[in-house]
Structure 1
């Protein structure tokens, strides 16, 4: 099961029951995420970040039909992210298997939300002065997962994610 802490902005876009965070505290942090909605060039974008490793996924240009099927959009995009980042297949399969059930709660990790703000700033920098059609989502997601974060002891989300499964 994935537990996704949704910001108020995201909660207003998705037709999902928002569960109590207390019910899911026992779920390992590797299966807990925070999600926020931002705008890039006037279009809605979703930032999803893992609580344990800060692995992150940005989905650009989401529209109503995608919000209606947000679980499937997240699962499919997560699969693409794992392929793009060269995540070992067995790890990707384990994560995708765990994502078969997704529940939404209020946000629960201030640290993750803080790291998401750094990713948001990176996205803004990478998309500055670009037409929407010229934004390369794959490159942005790769760069954002290779950013060094002080909160990750000077490591990248990708390295931290891979190391999690080695231990």
Structure 2
């Protein structure tokens, strides 16, 4: 995860280390940080459903995310891709007016269709395969 600003709005970008599936949350305020795990889980659920994941897949990732820990990462692949996502958002939505008029679901869908050279496919497809594998196990 990384915190960045567009104008006066705080934004959070999060990425899954294995699949590079990512999500941006716009307009995060101080009270949101007090219940950060709830904020992440709810936005993840909304994003995944809007991107066509099944309810079973969403519930599986949410059950795993109950054990989520926020730590420093040394995974250069994930850090580089997270930086690319943030730069893309800042380029497409340079000011407060643009970011507040943006369709966040569409933005996150577009971000998950960015071809990263570290993957064989788009992050959304890799996450789909990852969740299918988890459901089989």
Q: How far has the Cα of 1:78 moved from its partner?
A: 0.7
**Alignment-derived partner of residue 152 in structure 1:** 119
Q: How far has the Cα of 1:77 moved from its partner?
A: 0.6
**Alignment-derived partner of residue 23 in structure 2:** 57
Q: How far has the Cα of 1:159 moved from its partner?
A: 0.8
**Which has the larger strand fraction?**
1
Q: Distance in 1 between matches of 2:68 and 2:132?
A: 25
1:161 to 107, 122, 127: 127
Conservation of the 8 A alpha-carbon contact between 1:146 and 1:158: yes
Instruction: Number of aligned residue pairs: give it.
Output: 132
Q: How far has the Cα of 1:135 moved from its partner?
A: 2.1
Q: TM-score, normalised by structure 2?
A: 0.89
Divergent runs of 4+, >6 A: none
Q: Give 3-state SS (helix, strand or coil) of 1:146's partner.
A: coil
Q: TM-score, normalised by structure 1?
A: 0.74
CA RMSD of the aligned region, Å? 1.5
Structure 1, unmatched stretches of 5+, are: 1-34
Structure 2, unmatched stretches of 5+, are: none
Q: Deviations over 1:124-162 (max 9, x none)?
A: 122135604312211111100111111112x21101111
